[in-house]
Amino acid sequence: MKSFHYLFWAYTLIWIVLAGYLLSLSLRLKAISSQLRRLKSRLPPDGEP
Amino acid sequence: MERALRFADTVLFPLVTVLMVASLYFVFRVAPNEVTMGAVQRIFYFHVPSAWVAFLAFFLVFLASVLHLATRRMIWDTLAHAAAELGVLFCGIVLMTGPIWARPAWGTWWTWEARLTTTLVLELVFVAYLLLRSQAESPAQGARLAAVVGIAGFLDVPLIYFSVKIWRGHHPIVFKTGGGEGLEPVMLQAFALCMVTFTLFFILLLALRFRLGLLQEDLAELREAARSGRTT
């Protein structure tokens, strides 16, 4: 059991890395979706000059 | 395409969540302690599946890069870019959890052993792949150069796999209890569950990251259209 803290830190690190990546992915998706919405609302409809 | 991405949201996300909880239960409550390494061996239930999905990701980079160079279609480059990012993520997990295991087992955090060194080289090649893309003058140029690096970088994967045999490295065969060889049935179940979970988790992340890439392309097209004063 003396090596238990290595096990603890390994799994903690894995979850920090995965949670960090998921957070960054969701923030990037949210940011790009809102940029797309803003840009689409500024453009004239298809076919208009 | 949109249907496949929606499938990832509606089916894969809850499925992966349930499987991840089940995997943790099996790793910490069901699987027994390995006879020589003790509790720290449980690191390998996530370490090995991370390595597997990293290799899978780099294989996808290789495949998509070949298809991009053959067809010049940007969708393959978008897929390769998404897979490369995930490959770097999971290979990073492998490189972090390996030394945490090695410290109590070998008495050192790192050794320049063949499998460790070739894995580090793989990670660095694909970090360079991601940096190269961000420095390119145009998306087309970035995609072309990245495809070449992606194909060349993947050649390190078989080298990692066979490195233990070629250079007689001491990277361990970790799953062994009692006097017999190989996995105990309960350990095998836990390991198989983790492999399935990580594979599905990878597919889910790939679908999300691929969607981000497609949205980035849409945004670039819309910006171009806005600049030229008309929609495409």
- Say which of B46, B211, B219 has its CB closest to residue A14: B46
In Å, what is the CA distance from A30 to each residue of A19, B216, B232?
16, 12, 24
The answer as to whether B107 is a domain residue is: yes
Cα–Cα nearest to B42, from B33, B51, B50 = B33
Q: How high is the pLDDT of residue B134?
A: 85
Q: What is the ipTM of this complex?
A: 0.85
Q: How high is the pLDDT of residue B82?
A: 97
The answer as to whether B17 is a domain residue is: yes
Q: Which tens digits make up the pLDDT trace of B55-83?
A: 999 999 999 999 999 999 999 999 999 99
Overall average pLDDT of the B16-25 stretch: 95
Q: In this structure, which amino acid lies at residue B44? A: F
Q: Residue A49 in contact with residue B231, Cβ under 8 Å?
A: no
Q: Identify residues of A whose CB sits under 8 angstroms from chain B CBs.
A: 1-4, 6-7, 9-11, 13-14, 17-18, 21-22, 25, 28-29, 32-33, 35-36, 39-40, 42-46, 49
pLDDT confidence band for B232 (50 / 70 / 90): very low
Question: Which of the pair, A3 or B207, is modelled with greater confidence?
Answer: B207
Positive/negative CA dihedral, B161, B165, B167, B173:
positive
The answer as to whether B49 is a domain residue is: yes
Q: How high is the pLDDT of residue B138?
A: 86
Q: Which tens digits make up the pLDDT trace of B160-205?
A: 888 777 777 667 654 444 545 567 888 999 999 999 999 999 999 9
Overall average pLDDT of the B106-120 stretch: 90
Query: What distance, in Å, lies between the first and last C-alpha atoms of chain A?
Result: 73
Render each residue's pLDDT in chain A as its tens digit; 49 residues: 567 889 999 999 999 999 999 999 999 999 998 988 888 787 766 655 5
Query: Residue B39 is part of which domain span?
Result: 2-170+185-227
Q: How many CB atoms lie within 10 A of CB B72?
A: 13
Q: How many CB atoms lie within 10 A of CB A15?
A: 11
Residue of A7, A8, A17, A22 to mutate for B, most B C-beta atoms under 10 A: A7
Residues of chain B above pLDDT 70, percent: 92
The answer as to whether B47 is a domain residue is: yes
Q: How high is the pLDDT of residue B166?
A: 76
Chain A residues inside the 8 Å CB shell of B219: 32, 35-36, 39
Nearest Cα of chain A lies from the Cα of B102 at a distance, in angstroms, of 10
The answer as to whether B132 is a domain residue is: yes
The answer as to whether B179 is a domain residue is: no
Overall average pLDDT of the B22-43 stretch: 88
Q: How high is the pLDDT of residue B231?
A: 47
User: What is the tally of structural domains in chain B?
Assistant: 1
- Say which of A2, A17, A32 has its CB closest to residue B93: A17
pLDDT, mean over chain B = 88
Q: How high is the pLDDT of residue A45?
A: 66
pLDDT confidence band for B230 (50 / 70 / 90): low
The answer as to whether B85 is a domain residue is: yes
The rounded Cα B11 to chain-centroid distance in angstroms is: 21
> Which residues, including other chains, have CB under 8 Å from residue B83's CB and lie 6 or more apart?
B57, B58, B60, B61, B64, B206
Q: How many CB atoms lie within 10 A of CB B149?
A: 20
Q: Residue B96 in contact with residue A13, Cβ under 8 Å?
A: yes
Dihedral pair phi/psi, residue B168, rounded to 5°: 50, 50
CA B93 – CA B118 distance, rounded (Å): 15
Please report which helix (H) or strand (E) contains residue B25, including its range: helix B13-25
pTM score = 0.89
The answer as to whether B176 is a domain residue is: no
